[in-house]
Structure 1
């Protein structure tokens, strides 16, 4: 990833210093949307950073008057962020946040930056509490972002979503949650609908900018496991007890393999231990210790 482009790019969706906590940014409602409160508004949803082992996953939304949405492609050239150069994505994002620009006056946007620490924390919760997989986390983020636009009294009528998981069931879930809004969930939505392409840019540039500041000069590449620079950094910076800092997704198999490969200290977590009837009553254990048996209390160290 070319990082020099981000040195002079200050995004409101990337507050500094970089936070370890999941956070959401919402732009003000665009002037043109406020001026036409009864006109239908459409909204697109996309994400960036689902697969990487490093850095956040960012969910982005963009919305505008339905009549304006065709300009996003025909006038500005919004497309799936993966098909555009870093320079072009950067230019489009700057246009979105330029206060006096046409895009800023017509397009509203928001992001939820789900940090690596929080993603893994939800996925690695103890069995008794119940963990939350990545799809469920993504669905929750999407629902909250859409609801946030409705809370701003925007006349939202159509929502287009790049799918996470089976599109049919996800569409039913969102349609049930937002009755009265036409919801379309499909694969490759970022290539089919300019409003989703715009959300794709918002999410991608926010993630890349976050990763730039998180790296703080480290040469760790894109953050994807298939990137040789990412793999090199991951395997060369393992602490034998703590692994890495909060920018790494510990729940990824790539991270677990790197820990084993680097000889990290094996850990046994309390919730992984099988329960036994012999330990059901702590008081009885203390008053009537079994002959020849010792009991241990394990300390759990957490950040």
Structure 2
């Protein structure tokens, strides 16, 4: 998926990268990795890598790089533009994970939690650099913090910014919670811009949206369901009660045959 597709449906992920400088294929390089947008209830999570030869690290530090949280948006844009100009020795790559992808991963039948998703995304970017034959000899946590997109910049890049959303979009921010209440649909829930697996979003869904009874809800509350397996090893011998056939057989009108 490319960035334009992510802008349209906001359900997947996309990777963006610069050309690999020729010098990075030959000289030993240091690679930095960082993330932005891990905590907010709105918008994507972005992981980034940046790399350059160890021999040119002083040139990169001469740009007066700093943690992105200490820089203004204009300063971040200026530094990123400068790094683009220095593309003969600096390379980078981004992996943008949409809110919908994050939530469906966390709420799937097989859970894929945020820590695992973050770990695999960072590792995937490092593997990407190696696959591009970048001569990585050192991995660090420097550099990308200076330019990796902040939450606000990620919103702007994906054309999803809203005046009602603050720059952090953290779950407890009053304006963010007000935006969530305003845009929740009683039947369909939130737009895909929202990480609906976050507790803040779930609480608003429970209060503002219609109640949903899932197909398995009644089965989970069925008193005829057998108890825990440990119950068979306590209180002496117990009379086994007949169990209803599995739902699969009930729905299809299938019964066990004792004779032909």
What is the TM-score when the length of structure 2 is the normalising length? 0.79
Question: When the two structures are aligned, how many residues end up with a matched partner?
Answer: 229
Cα distance in 2, alignment partners of residues 271 and 79 from structure 1: 51
Check the 8 A contact 2:6/2:14 in 1, yes or no: no
Check the 8 A contact 2:152/2:161 in 1, yes or no: no
1:256-282 deviation line (CA, Å, top 9, x unaligned): 1112232x1122445665384524164
Runs of 4 or more, structure 1, over 6 Å off, are none
- The equivalent of 1:89 in structure 2 is 76
How big is the shift at 1:43?
0.3
How big is the shift at 1:216?
5.3
How big is the shift at 1:229?
2.1
Residues 271 and 204 of structure 1, relative CA distance in 2, 3 Å threshold: farther
How big is the shift at 1:123?
0.1
**Do residues 23 (structure 1) and 11 (structure 2) align?**
no
> Which protein is bigger by CA-based radius of gyration?
2
1:34-73 deviation line (CA, Å, top 9, x unaligned): 4xx1x21010010000000000000010000012123322
Residues 281 and 115 of structure 1, relative CA distance in 2, 3 Å threshold: closer
1:93-124 deviation line (CA, Å, top 9, x unaligned): 12223xxx2x2221110010011000000000
- The equivalent of 2:118 in structure 1 is 138
How big is the shift at 1:288?
8.1
SS at match of 2:211: coil
Cα distance in 1, alignment partners of residues 45 and 205 from structure 2: 22
Which runs of 5 or more residues in structure 2 are unaligned?
226-242, 256-260
Structural mapping, 1:91-130, within 5 Å:
91-97=78-84, 101=85, 103-126=86-109, 130=110
Check the 8 A contact 1:279/1:285 in 2, yes or no: no
- The equivalent of 2:258 in structure 1 is none
Check the 8 A contact 1:44/1:160 in 2, yes or no: yes
Which runs of 5 or more residues in structure 1 are unaligned?
1-12, 162-195, 290-303
Structural mapping, 1:45-60, within 5 Å:
45-60=33-48
- The equivalent of 2:228 in structure 1 is none
Cα distance in 2, alignment partners of residues 150 and 118 from structure 1: 25
Cα distance in 2, alignment partners of residues 203 and 284 from structure 1: 55
- The equivalent of 2:244 in structure 1 is 278
Cα distance in 2, alignment partners of residues 145 and 271 from structure 1: 39
Check the 8 A contact 2:6/2:13 in 1, yes or no: no
1:179-214 deviation line (CA, Å, top 9, x unaligned): xxxxxxxxxxxxxxxxx2x31244225x53331244
- The equivalent of 1:215 in structure 2 is 160
Alignment root-mean-square deviation, CA: 2.5
- The equivalent of 1:243 in structure 2 is 189
Residues 94 and 279 of structure 1, relative CA distance in 2, 3 Å threshold: farther
Residues 14 and 228 of structure 1, relative CA distance in 2, 3 Å threshold: farther
Structural mapping, 1:220-235, within 5 Å:
220-222=165-167, 223-235=169-181
Residues 271 and 150 of structure 1, relative CA distance in 2, 3 Å threshold: farther
- The equivalent of 2:56 in structure 1 is 68
Cα distance in 2, alignment partners of residues 29 and 286 from structure 1: 59
- The equivalent of 1:187 in structure 2 is none
